Amino acid sequence: PGGHVEQNETVEDAVVREIKEETNLYIQPKFLFYHDEIFPEENWHAVVLVFHAAANGTVKLNEESTEYRWFAPEEALKMELGFSHEKVISRWIGSRA
Catalytic residues: 67
Report which residue type is found at 92. W
Beta-carbon-side half-sphere exposure of residue 36 (alpha carbons within 13 Å):
5
Q: CA geometry: angle at 62 spanning 58 and 65, to 5°?
A: 100
